[in-house]
A and B are shown apart, each in its own frame.
Chain A
Amino acid sequence: MKKIFLSFVLICTVSLTGLFAAGQSEKLSGSLTVYSPHGAEITGPIVSLYNKKYPDIKVELIKAGTGELLSRLRAEKNNPAADVMWGGSTILFESAADLFAPYKAANDKDMIKQDPNNKWHPFSILCQPVLVNTRRLKPAEYPETIKELADPVWKERGGIALADPNKSGTGFTIVSGISNAYGWGFVKELVKNSKVTPGSDAMFKAVLDGEVPVGFINEDLGIKWELAGQPVKMIYASDVVTVQIDAYGLVKGAPHSKLGKTFIDFLGSKPVAEIARNTIKRRSARKDVSPPQGLPALGDLKLYPESEPRTVVTAKFNKILKELGK
């Protein structure tokens, strides 16, 4: 008991000193809670840059998967703890629009896309090229088009990893983009050859580990794996490349919405875009930031973004799953 008490006292002291230290300045100060699925390699440098600009604002990061954070936001709706949700595709922000507050961010005008409702603000643009495992396939077997993937030969070769659009924003983007290009009849043929994984990480890792010969990848991770010498290769199919926007937004009823807005304005700034490009190979959504080295220019790709609302895509996809007994 003594131990418990001692450590309790210790922790209280530590946290209280932290609070007092943060509360002394007269400028914008206080603490700000950010929910984010991004890894430390990106949140670290960006938050410390923010703190150079706002030394008196303490950023408290709470990290988990996008789905978990969204559920947490929803459960906390009546008394939100978070100020900013940093990360998640635009589909997330639109399907949970009731959780976010509109805000006209200073940098929205510099972005490739804007949310007409001002709830999400674009952070980066992600393409989903095909990823092959080079141990499982000979170069001659690499698919060059998405169309080829409907060939039953892919089932024999071990299947295609495809993230379930009911559960993953990336999976949603892929399925919606492909149906945009070739229609739902084609998607059904594709699903026949696919192993539908319950999340996008499971899809990425399945190809990396060679559990399946082919799947899809977010290009920022794909290029990093290629550069690290992993047995994978990204292929931008000549017929279809799907694309999504990774965004951030202000939480509705945010306890420190004033500070949250400064963070949102900051995230849209050019230096942040450059950090994201250089450290995690993200294409910035800003028009004035060039793409990361090693990634093709968007203009050279046959881009197919989502073209149907979430309810339509998932309803049609689930019908296919049901018909195929998957």
Chain B
Amino acid sequence: MRIRLLSNIKDPWRIFTAAALVILIGLIIVPQIWIARTSVQQQGGAFDFKADSKAGTISLIKETVKGYDVETKGPNLYYISRNGIYYFSIRREKSGSLILSAGGDKPLKASIRSGGTVIVKVRGSRFNIRQKVFSSFFSTQKKVTPLFITKISNNSIRLNYSRNAFLSFIDRQKHYTLTNYLVFLTRSRYVKAIVNSLIVTVVSTFFAALIGITLAYFLSRYSIPGTNTILVLFTMASVSPPFLGAYAWRMLLGSYGIITRIFGLHWTIVGIHGVIWVIIWLVFPIIFLLSYDSFTSLDSSFRESSISLGADRRKTLLKIEIPLALPGIITGLYLAMMAAFSDFGTPYIISLNLNVLPVLIYKEYMSEVGSNPSIASTGSILMIFVSTLILTGQRIYLAGRAYASIKTSKPSVLKPSGKMKTLIYMFTITVAFFAFLPHITVFILSFLKWNVGIVTGILTMGNYTKLFVSDLNAIFVSFFLGLSATFLDFIFGIGIAYIIVRKRYPVISNLLGILVMIPYLIPGTVLGLGFILIFNQPPVLLTGTWLILVLAYFIRKLPFSVKSSEASLYQIHPALEEAAKSLGAPPFKSFSTVTLPMMLGGIISGVSLSFLQIMTELSSTIMLYRPPWKPMTAVIFENTIEAGADFGIAASMTVILMLLLYLPLYFITLNTRKLKERRIETI
């Protein structure tokens, strides 16, 4: 026993695995389990009656009947039953009074609560009965006769109500059922949302892949001056200005958008085509960055052999280079697909009424007039299910291929012809133009005066001065939270990726892989709700602190660093580390001195992505922030929530946020990419 324990301690990876598992379960499963629970719950049921004061009658409002069967047995007589079991009858005695009596000799108990709600218990069901009386707008509300009950017998009561009231019967008790799933998968509204989501995801990822992979290939194969700058540029492009980014497209290409009007076009970006278009430019940088890292870490000798064995360039590309770079490409595709699949902002802003899963789910959770958590949770669980399928596909595909290289020769590049160079530059510039259009728009907007949510043509610095007066503190908060969370992502990202790719512990490695992705798929606001539900009371009281934000950011953006570390690990052959081990290096040392340095390019991409994503994370922030811990995104958001808000402040805060992100990013990328000096090929 002691020896086993000792050997466990000797392998720090096991301890790390256990720690990671505990942390992820504590931060992901525990707070979010309510989603799974809610998805299989349904409220008992409800039905409403309308009383007619003149005729003195009551009539059932058929549309409101849920969960129970309400049978009209005659004028003013209704039988309530469910699954063939008869609960009670409602009979009008006279205007303003009803008799409720239970069937058989079942008891019917009633009580009245201070708010005027009557509670009726019968056969294990519990109904809340409320009345509502409407009056015309100007008339002062007359005194309404409150609900009143008198006991008639053990199984019947008299209920007095106001003669012109709506009477609602609600059974709030939760039942466990799978009907929510049935409804979600059969009702046309929800099915449409699933179909639309899949169309948006597949089509936009396809085009994003075309752009991203092509660009990555050419930039990695040819020595192009300025490649590092281009890399930094596209890392930057992976973050769109929160909120304003998507709206910028509408300002440019909407029915009366700026570009639409200049060219006198008759089109609008509003619609599913526009959603796809905007998402393409949002997700292609992820594919580009990961494919680029893959292409550059290819062992050039494979290619050289291919060519010297007589294959032409095209064949070499298709048979050797792309397959070898696949781990990165597939991971990029996967991350891009997930980003497209879970994007809420773009369809919400770029379409008027396009029904896609993230919007549907979000609005069902966050409705201001009464949410429907059951359906929303069902949708969330289905999204997690779909993405787990895709993830499993990706995992099986990658694990089945040992495309890793054993040696670490420096990558090689071709010298491009002049024509080729021009072509590559043209392509890069075009892509960069579209990728940065929203950023440029926001930049310009930040220097214009805004009035009631509308931009004017007047140049001003006022947005910035206003900002510096009121919200400078937010910058410090953002950086503190962002750096802390990124640090956690960095450590856990590498570690978890290593466990998934190398250690391949049965079950546990897969479990970690799936766990990591869950926070990415749940809308951030919903994730925030889960955090509040768990951390708003002792023993772990975290709400209102900075820590809860750091933890939320950490788990929400963990996929970026895990996935990119995974991609680079797949390309490094385990034999290298085995060699170190066989020479006597302990497991951690062999990892940190051999594997880690080789992963660096991928890790930097991943950590930069995490950092950018964390700093621009908005949705979980709204749920969890409390002053003084108010990050920049919260400032941006509060200046965009109303249609008439001062977008100028939001725009200028966005510009500052982007600048503050880009400067460090620029230096980090330049310094780390330099490691990969490349020799020019002569073939």
Contact = CB atoms under 8 A, between A and B. Distances in A.
Contacts of A198: 348, 353, 359, 363
Contacts of B541: 79
Interface in B602-646: 622-623, 625-629, 634, 637-639, 641-646
Interface stretch (A143-151, A162-170, A261-269, A270-278): A162-170
A253 B46 CA distance: 28
A78 interface: yes
Interface string A70-93: 111001101101000000110110
Contacts of A231: 256
A309 interface: yes
A107 interface: no
A67 B367 CA distance: 5
A315 B642 contact: no
Contact of B645 (A39, A97, A298): A39
B160 interface: no
A71 B543 contact: no
Nearest to B480: A7
A52 to B, nearest CB: 18
Contacts of B189: 321-322, 326
Contacts of B256: 135, 209-210, 231
Contacts of B456: 228
B646 A11 contact: no
A61 B643 CA distance: 19
Nearest to B139: A113
A63 B638 CA distance: 6
21 contacts: A11-B546, A40-B638, A62-B627, A68-B623, A72-B623, A75-B536, A76-B536, A78-B537, A89-B368, A97-B115, A117-B116, A196-B353, A198-B348, A204-B643, A209-B270, A211-B268, A228-B451, A303-B137, A307-B134, A309-B168, A310-B370
A76 B543 contact: yes
A37 B643 CA distance: 11
B196 interface: no
Interface in A46-80: 60-68, 70-72, 75-76, 78-79
B64 A8 contact: no
Contacts of B50: 312
B543 A315 contact: no
Contacts of B268: 211
Interface stretch (B218-226, B525-533, B651-659, B671-679): B525-533
Given A11-B628, A41-B646, A311-B48, A168 B369 contact: yes
B580 to A, nearest CB: 28
Contacts of A7: 476, 479-480
B376 to A, nearest CB: 10
B366 A212 contact: no
A95 B369 contact: yes
A63 B641 CA distance: 8
B255 A211 contact: yes
B473 interface: yes
A306 B369 contact: no
B312 interface: no
Contact of B136 (A3, A136, A161, A305): A305
Interface of A: 1, 3-4, 7-8, 10-11, 14-15, 18, 33, 37-41, 60-68, 70-72, 75-76, 78-79, 81, 88-89, 91-92, 95-97, 112-114, 116-117, 135-136, 161, 164-169, 172, 195-199, 201-202, 204-206, 208-212, 220-221, 224-225, 227-228, 230-231, 243, 280, 298, 303, 305-312, 314-316, 318-319, 321-322, 325-326
A106 B442 CA distance: 45
B368 A312 contact: no
B444 interface: no
Given A71-B529, A92-B368, A319 B63 contact: yes
Given A79-B537, A113-B141, A4 B641 contact: no
3 tightest Cβ-Cβ pairs between the two chains A and B: A67-B366, A63-B638, A224-B452
B461 interface: no
Contacts of A8: 480
Contacts of A243: 137
A11 B365 contact: no
B352 A206 contact: yes
Contacts of B642: 37-39, 201, 221
Interface in B476-519: 476-477, 479-480, 483-484, 487
A269 to B, nearest CB: 21
A318 to B, nearest CB: 8
Contacts of A211: 254-255, 268, 270, 352
A168 B256 CA distance: 26
Nearest to B639: A40
B371 interface: yes
Interface string B241-284: 00000000010001111000000000010100000000000000
A212 B641 CA distance: 22
Given A71-B371, A92-B369, A161 B352 contact: yes
A221 B134 CA distance: 27
Contacts of A220: 644
Contacts of A280: 644
B166 interface: yes
A197 B638 contact: no
B144 interface: yes
B663 to A, nearest CB: 14
A70 B134 CA distance: 24
B141 A116 contact: yes
B440 interface: no
Given A10-B476, A18-B628, A199 B369 contact: no
A254 to B, nearest CB: 15
Nearest to B66: A315
A89 B367 CA distance: 12
Nearest to A161: B352
Given A37-B642, A116-B141, 13 more contacts: A8-B480, A33-B626, A39-B642, A65-B641, A81-B544, A198-B363, A202-B348, A209-B255, A210-B255, A211-B255, A228-B456, A306-B134, A312-B61
Contacts of A61: 627
Interface string B349-367: 0001100000100010111
B311 interface: no
A91 B369 contact: yes
B166 A308 contact: yes
B188 interface: yes
B319 interface: no
A62 B369 contact: no
Contacts of B668: none
Given A39-B642, A68-B622, A166-B367, A75 B628 contact: no
A76 B188 CA distance: 34
B402 interface: no
B132 interface: yes
Contacts of B476: 7, 10-11
Nearest to A19: B628
B370 A75 contact: no
Contacts of A65: 366, 368, 641
A316 B65 CA distance: 11
Contacts of B353: 195-198
Nearest to B46: A311
Nearest to B532: A75
A307 B484 CA distance: 52
A92 B479 CA distance: 36
Contacts of B644: 39, 220-221, 224-225, 280
The CB with the most chain B CB atoms within 10 A, among A41, A68, A81, is that of: A68
Query: Interface centre among B138, B353, B359, by most A CB within 10 Å?
Result: B353
Contacts of A228: 451-452, 454, 456
Contacts of A15: 628
Contacts of A14: 473, 628
A67 B370 CA distance: 9
A32 B61 CA distance: 43
Contacts of B365: 71
B525 A212 contact: no
